[in-house]
Structure 1
Amino acid sequence: MSANPLRQFWRDSSLSALVAGFIAMLTGHTSGLVLIFQAGQAAGLDSGMIASWIWALSLGMTCCTIGLSLYYRAPIVVAWSTPGAALLISSLPGVTFNEAIGAYLVCALLLTLVGITGTFERLLRHLPNSLAAALLAGILFRIGSEIFLAAQSQLLLVLAMLFSYLLIKRLQPRYAVLAALLVGAALAGANGLLDLSQVPLQLAVPQWTTPTFSLSAVISIGLPLFVVAMASQNIPGLAVLRADHYPVPASPLLSVTGFASLLLAPMGSHGVNLAAITAAICTGPQAHEDATKRYTAAVFCGLFYALAGLFGASLVALFAALPKALLLSVAAIALFGSIGNGLQAALHHAEEREAALLTFMLTASGISLGGIGSAFWGLLLGLAVLWIGKLGQRA
């Protein structure tokens, strides 16, 4: 590594890397901010607390992305857990926000310990991929299906967004979600449903929330967040790096992101993890023709994260001005790919198909038993079905 990494960064950077970094930031924020805004509203948080949440996430993503990318000279993109935000939409209303912060801390501590102790690979062996994928698909299914509920009130808006997404996906897939959002916003503005005059240019101010710990919050939020972070963020994120020939050690990445999550949880952050979809934008040839210089795209992505975090209050006001049908639709559209991939992976192995199906169905049901959300019960049921199946094989 160069004695002056910043000077080397400017030498290695290019316009394509800058554009890739911007698109990576925009891709993650387009879908993720909608879910965070929905989760914050479901929990009864005011705009200041939601802005603090975005600020904390952006700070963690900025520091981890830039620091790790410069240190390893690899395009290591860190993002918040979008499926985790989707999980919180249904989980936060059942607990106080102080208890949710306590659950975030437990999740971050588990992620940090997994990284420090090097138990990542051993842990994965105890959680079948089919169940992890079914859990993810079940969490996201409820959010994705709301596009059809939104169509009841704003049919033209929803159809325009859906068809623009499908069309652009065939031509330029990375812009498909953004296209749906822009079409929806334009149509909402034309119909007088969008008032941007009330959106101020305002800096986000971090707000401290003192954590409290409850068993129900840890079980219904902390543990599912941990599973989702590992299954839908860290594992795919490492797979993207390996696929593009960046053999970065896993344990330090998990330790750094877990520790950052631990520090920022009291400001509202539900955790930062390795990115997969946005990382692929920075690891591919479109970011830079020289693979050894693609780390600059990730650094640019981190810089754009910083700008988004600073103006988190303006972003919250912007999303408050958008029609509910638009928010529901763009969130659903952004999750189509994850839902489909999750179902495909969950049902791939015939011997685990029934367990995965039941995990998906129970998780997607959204029921709460004993104050504990459906994600935990879905995973527990799937593991029980697998265990019963193995007993039958032994007999």
Structure 2
Amino acid sequence: MTRIKKDFSLPAVFAGFITFLIGISVSSVLVIQAGQVLGANQAQISSWFWALGLSIGLSGLILSWKFKYPVATSWSTAGLALIIATGSGYNLNEAIGAFLICGIMTAVLGFFGIFQRILEFLPQSLTSAMLAGVLLKFGITLFTVMQDQLIYVLVLISTYFVSKKTLPRHSIVITLLACILLTPLFFEYTATKIHYGMTYPVWIQPEFHWSSILGLAIPLLIINMASQYLPGLAMIRSYGYKPHVNQLVSWTGIAQAIFAPFGAFSTNIAAISAAVSLDEQVHQDPAKRYIAGISCGVFYIFMGIFAATLTGLLLSFPREMITTLAAIALFATIGHNISIAFKEDLDRDAALITFLMSASGVQFLGIGSAFWGLVIGFIIYHLMRIQIKKPI
């Protein structure tokens, strides 16, 4: 506790909050939709948020504290898309069983070091290109909002860059405060009626069938690895940290397995939202940025305990506000990864294909473009290194 007090900073807390906000705001409605597809009632859906908040929050908080670098955790939006698309073929108990199996398999991949060995084969230029491609759409959406809210976006962009020039450590904090102050002036919206009170867990008995294991658990595992763990660990590595891959994968898998019977469909390393907690805007000293990971975990725990209250409040924010704030917060990360991806001449062709494919958003076999971009880029990376003997 003494070191935490010494390393504590307000920008780190705000970065943790923004990481949390980005992580849940866009896909909270999808959690509700996924639960409804599986036949969950209102109490059970509230339990899903309780389980997700505690499993994500506790794992992120403890891992950040233990390893002293930001370990932002989250649920998988791509996993939600899979559940919504295929969930009608299973009942709620079968789905819960699949979530539990997925968590156990994730832990096994971590404990036996399988994922660590996979990651060691991937060049940083390609993982950075993949991250830049995934993040690109978030930067572009800022200018989509600008088309309808020109002054709003211009003022926030100006606020960010002026504060980054004058008070770089507090630029995100200042931008967030400006966003909160400006939003009521530019948008007409009514906050949802907030119901105050704690959320209570509901045990949902898991059922295990080969159809749900093969059709839901294994695809969910692949999607989590491709869309969450791979870019999330690459994100941590791109900022100079050496992630404890085995422990991060295994313990988040265990957290998912423990809370799965209450609705935790995934507990993963965060990918996109994690960037906010890793950047130098959090703190110039990388050794003190772990406070952002701890803070993010605390916010997730509060979300779980007061799921109905906090989720209702966050969902009342205009989507344009969330989109603008997320894009500005990710500016530095997009630039950082582009610079790494295209730094080496020999890597540029492979990095370009990885970047473009990852940014495309297409899916094959239910797996997202980030995974396929990395696969194609990896092939080109090694193809460009083949030495062809010239005829004498």
Query: Shorter chain as normaliser: what TM range?
Result: 0.7 to 0.9
User: Deviation digits for residues 185-221 of structure 1, max 9, x if unmatched?
Assistant: 33331245232362343444557697935669956x6
Aligned length: 373
- Is 1:389 matched up with 2:384? yes
Per the alignment, residue 376 of structure 1 pairs with 371
Per the alignment, residue 20 of structure 2 pairs with 29
- Indicate the RMSD between aligned Cα atoms, in angstroms: 4.5
TM-score, normalisation: structure 1: 0.72
Q: Whole-Å Cα distance in 1 between the matches of residues 6 and 189 of structure 2?
A: 34
- Is 1:79 matched up with 2:75? no
Q: Whole-Å Cα distance in 2 between the matches of residues 155 and 393 of structure 1?
A: 54
Q: Whole-Å Cα distance in 2 between the matches of residues 16 and 195 of structure 1?
A: 39
266, 270, 286: which one aligns with 1:270: 266
Distance 1:155 1:352, change over 3 A: same
Shift of the alpha carbon at 1:12?
Answer: 6.1
Shift of the alpha carbon at 1:129?
Answer: 1.6
Per the alignment, residue 360 of structure 2 pairs with 365
Describe how 1:305-316 pairs up with structure 2 within 5 A.
305-316=300-311
Distance 1:124 1:175, change over 3 A: same
In structure 1, list runs of 5 or more residues that go unmatched: 1-8
Q: Is the 8 A contact 2:57 2:73 kept in 1?
A: no
- Is 1:257 matched up with 2:256? no
Q: Is the 8 A contact 1:31 1:334 kept in 2?
A: no
Shift of the alpha carbon at 1:361?
Answer: 0.8
Distance 1:217 1:20, change over 3 A: same
User: Deviation digits for residues 202-244 of structure 1, max 9, x if unmatched?
Assistant: 444557697935669956x64353245444433554787968x
Q: Which moved more, 1:55-64 or 1:156-165?
A: 55-64
Shift of the alpha carbon at 1:306?
Answer: 2.4
Q: Which moved more, 1:123-132 or 1:57-66?
A: 57-66
137, 152, 160: which one aligns with 1:157: 152
Q: Which moved more, 1:266-275 or 1:97-106?
A: 97-106
Q: Whole-Å Cα distance in 1 between the matches of residues 4 and 297 of structure 2?
A: 14
TM-score, normalisation: structure 2: 0.72
Shift of the alpha carbon at 1:344?
Answer: 1.8
User: Deviation digits for residues 313-366 of structure 1, max 9, x if unmatched?
Assistant: 233222322222222212222222222222222212221211111111122122
- Is 1:60 matched up with 2:59? no
85, 89, 113: which one aligns with 1:118: 113
Distance 1:138 1:217, change over 3 A: farther
Per the alignment, residue 196 of structure 2 pairs with 201
Distance 1:106 1:175, change over 3 A: farther
Shift of the alpha carbon at 1:385?
Answer: 1.7
Query: Sequence identity, in percent?
Result: 28
Describe how 1:208-223 pairs up with structure 2 within 5 A.
212-213=212-213, 222-223=221-222
Per the alignment, residue 343 of structure 1 pairs with 338
Shift of the alpha carbon at 1:62?
Answer: 3.6
Distance 1:327 1:201, change over 3 A: same
Q: Is the 8 A contact 1:61 1:80 kept in 2?
A: yes
Q: Which moved more, 1:322-331 or 1:249-258?
A: 249-258
Describe how 1:318-333 pairs up with structure 2 within 5 A.
318-333=313-328
Shift of the alpha carbon at 1:150?
Answer: 1.5
Shift of the alpha carbon at 1:167?
Answer: 2.5
Q: Which moved more, 1:227-236 or 1:39-48?
A: 39-48
Q: Is the 8 A contact 1:147 1:332 kept in 2?
A: yes
Q: Is the 8 A contact 1:61 1:78 kept in 2?
A: no
